[in-house]
Structure formats: structure tokens, C-alpha cells
Amino acid sequence: MPCTRIVLITPITPFKENLRGVSALPYHLLIHRQQEDEKVEVKIFSFNTNQLSKEQISQSEVELNVRIHILKERRWMRWMFLSRLHPIVRILMSHPFSSYVRLSKKELENIQAQHADGIWIYGEEYAPLLKQFPNTRRVLLGPDSEALYYYRLLGQRFIFKDTWNLFRKFLMYPKYLKIEKELPADKSITCCVVGEADANFLKRVNPDIQAEFLRHPHYEISTSKEIKFHTPIRLLIAGQNNLYMQQGVEEWIPEMINACSELKVHYAITFLGRGWEQAVQKLSRAGYTVTHIPFAPNYTEEVQRHDIQLTPITVGTGTKGKVLDALANGLLVIGTEYALENIAVKNGVSCLQYETPQEVTVLLKDVVDNVPTYEQIAATGRHCVLQHHSRRTIAKNFFSLFQP
């Protein structure tokens, strides 16, 4: 059996869930990398910016059958963050902070000693590291186009509420755009993202690069979960209260309050993630049964206890892991266009897509009246994700990029 040797260089140590960073994507690409016709050996060199403990690192090593080497934090980066000049210097830098990181001579020699068939760089900011391996097949996994994220964000009205935040985002857009314009147009380098719009954006910015759209693998699943809605129906909002969902939730709550007399008996609402205290308070005062779980020790198990996931994402790029997670575990997903983009589902058949918060309450009322119909949509959604976002299939597609 042929064997492909890969070295992954990453700021974030892979873990089965997103832990202080996008750590789940590389984990789930790696866990089913072994195929019937080929063996893939991987060694990981990580800066561990998501600060996994020694126990968590060991856990990933065992589960992924890999060896993880932790790279030292750069002293100049630590000094920069502690310095009072940090905000000013960051403004003056033409690139994002992390894109100035380079591997030391010793680190480079250690990696070259692995005699890898391919180098995998994770994270767009670390794209300059590609040039340190000129004679090797290389893959940069985005996972998204950061410039597209800022482009979309600057088109949202809520960003204008906070002048300082607007200023920061306005500064970051050209920095990431510069990274993408400077991506090497080398036939031995593939730039891979988990968003179709992201790949198209990269091609427009830098037409000479090899840019590929890769479907995002689903996370942990339970195929034994029976899709049968509880009484009352358990409605989940998963994710932190941040730029991605803040506006969507704020617009949805008044509609839920207006429909409280019709819906409060039929729904129990759970917020899974930090920062939702005010939202919980408003819905509770209106008469809903609301639970707030800031952090779940086992995220997948908690998701599986629910029937419907509402994902009111108003900005973002790539594929949303929490949406895939919900679909794969048999939840009916109600989401915006950005929440559902890049996922192999269809509105009204395997998911429910909406444009306005008023549509959400209409859909929730209809679910109450037609539960079997929506249970079937949830089942179809799970089937589509398990088929088209299979970890084994996508791992095969991804690691084939390292072939000459």
C-alpha cells in the first residue's frame, strides 16, 4: 500500500470541537484520512494559539494517530502584545500580525528532516510560510477568505453602530486583501477553502492561483438518534453572541415576543453559548421557557437533545460548522442564506431558509401544525449531509491535492 507523508503547520492545534479557534476542521479531515487504497502519515507542528492543555493535545494525538510538536511562541509577538505601542504598530503594519511569523532555521530543518511528500499550511495568515518550502507540494487551507469576510461585514448596517469597531474592520480589509493578492501563483500550490464564494473571490483577487472549493466535513454524529420532536418542541440557538448572530437574534426576539401567546406553550428555547443573558431575560419575561447553557462539556450530546436549530447568521464566509453539526445530528435547521451556504441542502426539502425574522415565527407556527412534515425535512437534511459531507469522502478529496 502506498504511503503519503504530510506535515501540517498550523497556528491552532486540532481538536474534535472548535476550542478557542477553528480547531475542528483539521481534526475531522485527519480522523478519516486512511483509505482502503492509500495510507496517509501526518506529523503536526503547531503554535497552539488555542492553548490546548497537555492532556487535550495527547487526546488528539491518540484519536488522530499523529504526533504533535508544539512550536515556541515568538518573543517579539509576546513583547508586541504587552507593549503600549501595540495598537499603533498594528495599524501601521501592511499585513495582519500573524503573517509576519516565519519558521526558524532549526524548525525548518526539523520539518525538512521528515522528508514529507507535502506541506499543509492551515490559516490564511500563515500563507507566507509556503515560500519556505519551494521544492515541495503545498496546500494552503484557508479555511475561508478573510478578505471576503471583511468585505461582507462592512456592508452590514450594524457595524456602523460602533465607530471604533468600524475603524478596525476597515483597516483589516486591505490587509487581508493584500495577503490574497500575494498568494503564490505556483502550480505546486493549491489554495483550498470551504466556501464556494470564497474560492471565487480568491480567483477574482488573484486569477493566477490554484483555488479550490472543498466541502466541509461534518463533525461527530449519532445516527441512532430518532427524529421525533419533543413536546414542547426544543428550539436551539447555538453559538456565541458575536458579530455573526447578534443582529439576527436581536431582530428575531421582538417577533417571538409578539407571537408569544401562540408559541410559548409549544416551544422550549435553549441558548448554547456565551453572552445571551439579555436575550434569555427578554424571552423569559415574555412568558417563554428559556434555558441558557454558556458552555457544554459535550457539545454534540447537547445538540442531540434538541429538535430544531435556529441559526440567524447575518455575516460570515465559508461553511458554518455548527449548522453542519445540527443537520448531521438530525435537527431541523432554520437559517439565513449565509448560515446555509456551501452546504448540500435545499430550502423546503432538507432545510428551511428565511430572509426576514417575521418568516421565522410563521415557520415555527407551521411546524406546530405539521410536525411529521418537518420531521421528514430534518431526516432528509441529515441524509444529505451524511452523504455529501462525509468525513471519509472529503478527506480523500483533500489529501488527493497532495498528489503531483
Write out the three cell numbers for 55: 492532556
Residue 159 has pLDDT above 70, yes or no: no
Same-domain status, 24 and 75: yes
Q: Could you tell me if 266 and 352 lie in one domain?
A: yes
Q: Is residue 358 in some structural domain?
A: yes
Structural element, H or E, at residue 255: helix 246-258
Neighbours of 155 (CB within 10 A): 9
Q: How confident is the model at residue 135 (pLDDT cuts 50, 70, 90)?
A: confident
**pLDDT range class, residue 134, cuts 50, 70, 90:** very high
* Cell numbers linked to 175: 490587509
How far, in Å, CA of 12 to CA of 48, rounded? 5
Residue 41 CB neighbour total at 10 angstroms: 17
Question: Looking at residues 179-192, what average pLDDT do you find?
Answer: 94
- The pLDDT mean for the chain works out to 91
Mean pLDDT of 66-86: 77
Q: Do 383 and 394 have their domain in common?
A: no
> What is the reported pLDDT for 321?
87
The reply to whether 272 and 367 lie within a common domain is: yes
Residues 135 and 249 in one domain: no
Q: Would you give the DSSP letter of residue 73? A: P
Residue 315, classed as helix, strand or coil, is coil
Q: Cβ distance 124 to 180 under 8 Å?
A: yes
| Cβ contact 71:11 at 8 Å | no
Q: Say if residue 267 is in the same domain as residue 188.
A: no
d(CA 319, CA 334): 15
Report d(CA 268, CA 349) in Å as an integer.
24
Highest mean pLDDT out of 72-81, 148-157, 197-206: 197-206
Per-residue confidence (pLDDT) for residue 18, from 0 to 100: 87
Residue 286 and residue 355 in one domain = yes
User: Do residue 185 and residue 248 come from a single domain?
Assistant: no
**How confident is residue 384, by pLDDT bands cut at 50, 70 and 90?**
very high
Q: Which amino acid is located at 332 in the chain?
A: L
The set of cell numbers assigned to 81 is 502584545
Q: Say yes or no: 120 and 72 in one domain.
A: yes
User: What is residue 171's predicted lDDT score, i.e. its pLDDT?
Assistant: 84
Structural domain of residue 259, as residue ranges? 233-388
pTM: 0.88
Tell me if 270 sits within 8 A of 235, measured CB to CB. yes
Question: Are 204 and 243 part of one and the same domain?
Answer: no
Q: What is the pLDDT of residues 318-375, one digit of tens each?
A: 888 899 999 999 999 999 999 999 999 999 999 999 999 999 999 999 999 999 999 9
Using pLDDT thresholds of 50, 70 and 90, give the confidence band for residue 219.
confident
- In the chain, how many domains are there? 2
Of the two residues 39 and 209, the one the predictor is more confident about is 209
